Amino acid sequence: MNISVIGSGSWGIALSIYLAKQGNTIKVWSFDETEKKKINQEKKCIFLPEIDLPDGIFCTNSYEEALENTEIILHVTPSKFVRNTLKGYKNFVKPNQILLMCSKGFEPETNMTLDSVIEEELPHTKYGILSGPSHAEEVAIGIPTALVVASKEKEVKEKVVDVFKSNCIRMYHTSDVKGVELGGALKNIIAFCAGAAVGLGLGDNTFAMLATRGLVEITRLGVAMGGDDKTFYGLTGLGDLIVTCGSQHSRNRKAGELIAKGYSMEETKKQIGMTIESIDNIDAAYHLAQKYQVEMPIVETVYEVLYHGLNPKQAVEILMTRELKAE
């Protein structure tokens, strides 16, 4: 199959590598001329430098060229760039092409989930959401992984499952688009908090508390916004939470660790060198919790750390001394 991948970051390239090894032809779009040359001439990617790209991957800076004669479009940009990128290529999307959103997060200006952005920009395009516990570094080298595709369209779910399934990736499907979107976006916040616990030198007990109570908060907001509560105990909720909170690969966890050690937000971004979705997501989740009148003490406290200078040690004290209640 001919497949377009819009975005040449680590996740976009990891998916390209995987799909190319399955016998597909991949056209990657990148905004960067240097990245295009590196992929086409050196068979390398800046963000996954140890991996040689297989045959079947070609990079272009042209949306039109990237989308021409392809059946599926994988959109893999940071969430804050999704709308502008969609605007850039929507005139080249054909009626028979499926759009698969592989990004996780909210649109910062509106706090909209990415499915809502798609529906505004490409209202007549059939689309799905790809999510689940999946580090780019592991998918790129064939580590066994399970993913889920969410779509209202049966055709989309069947086609995406068929394209992705292998002995390396096990595919699941659901119609709960909103739940899958919210699970994938909100888990980054709890991963940030898990990193902060590491930065403060706290232990496994604290980690388990944050992950468990964090999942409760994710589910509260997710259900209030239209998701199915069962979704948050599956791959895109609990699964993604485990992998993002517990892994050294997680840039969101690393960001929390650096902030807790006293790094500024700008210093943290410079150290990591890639988009940190959790920082934007914390702002969105805080305001969505207020809008939907959902209690989210972890989110509220980490918001104060990031945006109002609350000391992370004081944040722990605030969370530990809240009014006691039944679980």
Q: What share of the chain is helix, strand, coil (3-state, %, to 5)?
A: 55, 15, 30
Tokens at residue 292, please?
Answer: 């939907």
Mean pLDDT of 255-277: 87
Q: Give the sign of the dihedral formed by CA 173, CA 174, CA 178, CA 182.
A: negative
Alpha carbon distance 207, 242 (integer Å): 11
Domains annotated on the chain, with CATH: 2-175 (3.40.50.720), 182-320 (1.10.1040.10)
Please say whether the beta carbons of 72 and 159 come within 8 A.
Answer: yes
| Residues linked to residue 113 through DSSP beta bridges, in sequence order | 106
pLDDT reading at 274 higher than 80 = no
- CA 69 to CA 64: how far, in whole Å? 10
pTM of the model: 0.94
- Mean per-residue pLDDT, 34-46: 96
DSSP 3-state assignment of 146?
strand
Asked which of 173-182, 208-217, 243-252, 311-320 is least confident by mean pLDDT, the reply is 243-252
Question: Per-residue confidence at 148, pLDDT binned at 50, 70, 90?
Answer: very high
Residues 45-57: tens digit of each pLDDT: 999 999 999 999 9
Q: Give the mean pLDDT of 65-80.
A: 97
- 162-191 mean pLDDT: 96
If we measure between CA atoms, which residue out of 158, 150, 174 comes closest to residue 100? 150
Q: Is 187 an annotated catalytic residue?
A: yes
* Residue 141 one-letter amino acid: I
For residues 51 and 140, the answer to whether their CB atoms sit within 8 Å is: yes
* DSSP secondary structure, 167-233, as one string: SSEEEEEES-HHHHHHHHHHHHHHHHHHHHHHHTT--HHHHHHHHHHHHHHHHHHHHHTT--GGGGG
Catalytic residue among 178, 187, 254, 269: 187
